[in-house]
Each structure stands twice: as structure tokens, then as C-alpha cells.
Amino acid sequence: MKPGIHPDYHPVVYQDRSTGDSFLTRSTETSARTIEWSDGNTYPLIVVEISSASHPFWTGSRRVLDNAGQVEKFRRRYGSRSPR
């Protein structure tokens, strides 16, 4: 790696705003807010709107689409075609 051109890569804590869940990872992001982690060290705190703790896909609360209903609606509107 070329010295002097890469941003500082350091440990940070991300916290989900809606659930309060936090996780420690490494990033180039910085913040003026800090938090004391369970290991006794203080890390920059970055609050995010959504994470895997609150995202509908990962929590299983996503909406299930009624594909069968859409197919029936299409067939009612356009009819079924016979093969030629």
C-alpha cells in the first residue's frame, strides 16, 4: 500500500436507532460521540437508522406478496391464451 493516501481505519461502534442494538467493527467513519464498550475501551459511536437488527428482511417481518392473486387478476383481465 502506498503510504499517506489511505484514510484512517479504526474500530467504531454502530448502534441501531430503533432497537438500540450495537456492534463493534472497523471503519473509516468518525464521530464526535463516543461510547464505552464492554472491553473497557472507548470507541466512536455512529448511530444508524436501520441495521440487520431492525431490517424487515433479516427480522422476518417482511410483507409476503400474494403472487397467486396477481396471476389470477392477470388471467381475468386478459384471459388465458391457447397454444398455437
- pLDDT, one tens digit per residue, over 32-82 is 999 999 999 999 999 988 887 777 665 666 565 666 677 788 888 888 766
* pTM score: 0.63
Of residues 56 and 15, more confidence is placed in: 15
- Cα of first residue to Cα of last residue in the chain, in angstroms, is 64
- Distance set, CA 56 to CA 16, 24, 29, 41 (Å): 14, 22, 25, 32
Q: For the chain, what are the domain ranges?
A: 10-78
The confidence score (pLDDT) of residue 3 equals 86
Q: Are 32 and 64 in contact (CB under 8 A)?
A: no
The confidence score (pLDDT) of residue 51 equals 80
